[in-house]
Structure 1
Amino acid sequence: MPKKTCQLIIDSANDYVIAVKDNQPKLHRHIQRIAALRSPTSRYIATEKTRDRLTTRTVEVFHDLNGIDSGWTGIKSLIRVERVGTRGRKQYHEVVCYISSLKSSAQDFACGIRGHWSIENCLHWVKDVVLDEDDSTIRLGNAPANLSIVRALAKLLLRRLALNILRRNGHSSITTATLISLS
């Protein structure tokens, strides 16, 4: 994520938590160095067992910003997340670093970062892997326009289907039926 994007986020009165990836090697090394030399302001450790996975996540927050390029607008926290565990019978270990314009506890950052991965795992992974969306050629030729028409028709058909189901189940007022089903 470029420094300009951080500036835009702050200028729009919002906050950010951004993963520091390989395209920012200097910042990534700096966060790792601080984590090795300093005690974190806050630490949170959680272990989770799901299906064939056992994962221990350690989230550490640092507020020592000495040596951070001032071009990273709004930065208030450095976050280091270490994930250790097993998938099936294979061991894994990964470290991901983040920067944030928020000054929060490690537990708060852990919750937010985990929540983001929940979206990634439940939505994007399914679309990418199960539905092969990454391999789709829908971005070529007339396919994007055709797909948008198909999606609009699908929404229209689903609405009509819902109306027919409500009417067949004896609801004369669709407004009342939808209010009943929402409560």
Structure 2
Amino acid sequence: MSFDALHTVRSNLDWLVVRKNAHYLAVAKHNQPKLRAFLAALPWSEIPTADITRDRGHGREETRTLKVATVDHLDFPHAAQAIRIGRWRRQKGRTASRETVYAITDATAEQASPALLADLARGQWHIEIKQHYVRDVTFGEDSSTSRTGRGPAVLALFRATVADTLRAAGHRSIPAGRLAHKTATAALDLHGFP
């Protein structure tokens, strides 16, 4: 099971392994600063690249490199391997970008090959692009000023409903779909209201 950094919490990881008998691939971002710092400080330059994936399409080039290190002294439940993923991305008409993502997994090297770990990480990235990126960038969820009560959850539900409805209507691009339905009448028609 792979998930967003928000769920990279000791109790969640322990629950998955002990109670659900499941494996995890957990991304470490700035919500876990000690874990992220520990992972970033590993001697990655001495560790060989275990997997390289290249993709082209939709005006984008992307290369992902994955390095894996066995860890036995990490202060996170059941962690067996540390992972570093380097992403190089170039979108047509834009400057190339680089990103480094760190993760941990309880799966040992015998249980999960670098190719499998790369596929799991890619699957999580696909979820982030399809859902989180759309909510954060297209709908501006991160800049929302609603922070109390049930407001944020209700707004997130509305945003997800709009995005899912646009996809169901055949729109591949959520921003373009929103532009096509910016009048009240078009928006109501999209959601099936007379």
Shift of residue 136, structure 1, vs aligned partner: 9.9
2:74 to 68, 71, 75: 68
Written as runs of structure 1 = structure 2, the 5 A alignment for 1:87-98 is: 87=91, 88-98=93-103
* Alignment RMSD (CA, Å): 3.0
Look up the equivalent residue of 2:74 and give its one-letter code: I
Provide the C-alpha distance between the structure 2 equivalents of 1:19 and 1:126, rounded to a whole number of angstroms: 19
Please, which of 68, 80, 89 is the counterpart of residue 85 of structure 1?
Answer: 89
CA distance in 2, matches of 1:50, 1:77: 32
Matched, 1:7 2:7: no
Tell me, what secondary structure is at the counterpart of 1:90?
Answer: coil
Deviation by residue 1:124-145 (Cα, 9 ceiling, x = unmatched): 4445555x383597x44xx95x
How many equivalent pairs are there?
A: 140
Partner of 2:50, secondary structure, is strand
1:74-110 residue CA offsets vs partner (Å, 9 max, x unmatched): 1111110000131232121110000001121211111
Alignment partner of 1:98: what SS?
strand
> Please, what TM-score do these two structures have when normalized by structure 1?
0.64
* Runs of 4+ in structure 1 over 6 Å off: none
Q: Give the secondary structure class of the aligned counterpart of 2:79.
A: coil
- The percent of aligned pairs where both chains have the same amino acid is 27
Aligned 1:56-135 pairs, distance under 5 A: 56-63=63-70, 65-69=71-75, 72-87=76-91, 88-103=93-108, 104-127=112-135, 129-130=137-138, 132=139, 134=141
Q: Tell me the distance in 2 between the aligned counterparts of 1:25 and 1:128.
A: 22
- 1:157 is aligned to none
Counterpart of 2:62, as a letter, is: T
Select the structure of larger CA radius of gyration: 1
Any idea what SS the aligned residue of 2:47 has?
Answer: coil
